[in-house]
Chain A
Amino acid sequence: DQQVKQNSPSLSVQEGRISILNCDYTNSMFDYFLWYKKYPAEGPTFLISISSIKDKNEDGRFTVFLNKSAKHLSLHIVPSQPGDSAVYFCAAGGNQGGKLIFGQGTELSVKP
């Protein structure tokens, strides 16, 4: 199932700089997108979401951008902190009831 793809398995960023995580999707019927953060031995923790009627949503250091024409979303973390080091999943849903389709995840490492 390749409907949601995160092409970068890992990303390394210096503390204080911007982290940009990317996600692409193929199903144009998706209308709700989410980012989750996951630490080892824990479940995914909801970070931020965006509806397809918007192109940007911001919550503190986290901003999600949605480009519907390109079927692309990104998560910006500014400034990045060592505690942000985790695996980040994008997920999409909306056209299939509550079912979420997840990407493969990107492991972010923020170095002090």
Chain B
Amino acid sequence: EPEVTQTPSHQVTQMGQEVILRCVPISNHLYFYWYRQILGQKVEFLVSFYNNEISEKSEIFDDQFSVERPDGSNFTLKIRSTKLEDSAMYFCASSARDLNQPQHFGDGTRLSIL
């Protein structure tokens, strides 16, 4: 069964450094998402992406965050200058359509900011 893959599984970064989290969505999916889960809290929506542009973003997704689909397979989340509070699990998801279709999630990247 096709799956969403994320790399790395764990990223440790110094505060203030840039970090790029990578995702390979399911190949025939057109809609891509990033969510995060801070330890002990809910899974929170960050951003949705379709047709090479952001469809929607949450208030968490400020100017420090950006997303890109640099080629036909990868989907990346960049945090420009990391803060301690960016420490979380980051999940990538994809779906065939935006409405009334299940989103399929990767196993996440654990981001630890020191």
Contact = CB atoms under 8 A, between A and B. Distances in A.
Interface of A: 1, 31-32, 34, 36, 41-46, 49, 51, 89, 91, 93-94, 96-105
B105 A45 contact: yes
A79 B56 CA distance: 40
Contact of B55 (A41, A49, A94, A97): A97
B56 A96 contact: yes
B107 A41 contact: yes
A97 B45 contact: no
A102 B43 contact: yes
A43 B48 contact: no
Given A43-B91, A44-B91, A99-B48, A32 B100 contact: yes
B8 interface: no
Given A1-B42, A99-B45, A101-B45, A43 B99 contact: no
A82 B22 CA distance: 33
Interface string B97-110: 01111111111100
B98 A97 contact: yes
B31 interface: yes
Given A43-B108, A46-B104, A98 B98 contact: yes
B95 interface: yes
Given A44-B91, A99-B33, 14 more contacts: A32-B99, A34-B103, A41-B107, A42-B108, A43-B107, A43-B108, A97-B98, A98-B101, A98-B103, A99-B45, A99-B56, A100-B45, A102-B44, A105-B42
